[in-house]
Structure 1
Amino acid sequence: MKKYIVFLLLIWSIFSFGQRQLEVYFDFNADVPNQSSGKELEDFYSNKNIEVIKIEGFCDSIDTKDYNKELAEKRINNILNLLKKNNVSIAENVSLIAYGKEFQQSNNQQENRKVIITYFDKENDFFPESSIPKNELLKRIKIEQKELPARFAKAKTGDFVRIENIHFMLNSEKIIPESYAILEQLYMIMVENPKMVIKINGNICCNPNTAATKLSFRRALNIFNFLKDRGIQINRLAYHGFGSGNPIYPIPEKNEEERIANRRVEILIVKK
């Protein structure tokens, strides 16, 4: 009973943790941080445990939407360069999102001239990469778990079966507990089709650098190891990580649904 309670507390802590953020402010029409924010950034650089996962750029309502979005992009790039220059760890699939006027603006225009840096503490913070509400996530997993056998039955040699609900911890190959239902279903499909050979392809979102493939490799390998450890012979399994090189939606993605679609697992049917 005690072990069960500890497990529940662990799951609660994983899904209840909020992301950490730093707001960096700019003067009117400027793309470098103002003096006050510059000092805050200096303190930020000193924490070697942090990893930046998202940088969002904002502008005031003055000027056109296109001009403001371009200025927001400049602010993002300058912050990104400052972080790299000061050896701050940047997630492989960092999200860079620039807004023109399409956000909830403050009446105080100065508060709108900012960049929000979202980060986590690599030593202490663990939470899901996907921002889908938990109830909705469970619903999607249950539907896909039910549909997956038919999709594999229909697939031919050379086809890809896209799996949309194997979700991971942020910037990690660790799979969230709920998604193991999908892995169990994949395992049963392999058991029921003893001649089938597959290749597990990992994909990530958000990163315009298509050469950054390490995270997607680790995620594909984790799924490979799950099936291997359950008894599926390794001559029936292969894996590969494509990074963000095969996106469904152009990068940068417009919303969370597009990011979820891009950071997917695909199963190539090598032999059936």
Structure 2
Amino acid sequence: MIRFLLCFFLLSTVAFSQAKFTVYFDTDSYQLNSLELNRLDVFLKNKDLKFIKIIGFCDYRATNSYNDTLALNRANYVYHIIEKVTNQKQIEIESKGENFTQNSDLKLNRKVEIFYEVLETDKTLPKDDKKNLSQQVSTAKVGDKLILKNLHFYNRSGIFVPESRPVLEELLKIMLANPNLKIEIQGHICCQIGTDVEDTAKVRALAVYNYLINNGVNKNRLSYKSFGSSKPIHIIPENNEDERNENRRVEIQIIAN
């Protein structure tokens, strides 16, 4: 029993180790006023957050059941804003009503707490259209990622379109000229959240991998991986075709050089 309680305590500590953002409500209202709505809007413009839990609260006035309902309405109101802005849906919602340690300043009790995690940011190098791939590789460090620009495939396949030939040839030339260079080829898709049902990202990364091997690069210098749609540059669903094209990409990560 003691062991169970200890494990439960440790898991609870981990579960609530996320960062927290709080918004405050007017008396007897489950909608944010314009000032708090603006604060939330600014906060949500951060694209690298994963939202975990939303908890609603009330001050002690009114009945317990009324406060439970009002606090839940506040949490749901914030949830729907987050869902609309970020398209994140799997967020736990809870109402504590008035059942918490109340602050003597009542306005601080009328709140919603948003628990979130800051997602790890990939070290993808910024775009530099003035540098070709060879120049980017020459200055890259281990761990850096480079986008293979202008590498495109036929729809839902790992078949290169003819316009992709120059970037493939450039990558091959780089690998042959730098025998110590090792890379991981990483595939990404756009447009859908969740499982890459057809493994399109993997198929495309594998296509680049096979192209290099078939043209003389030792396979011990190469690996490949699919990230599906889990690491988009732009939030899904994208706003336009440019954003979709930037999310559906192949990158190389420098493993050794």
Q: Under a length normalisation based on structure 2, what TM-score does the superposition of the two structures give?
A: 0.49
Q: Give me the TM-score of the superposition, normalised by structure 1.
A: 0.46
Larger Rg: 2
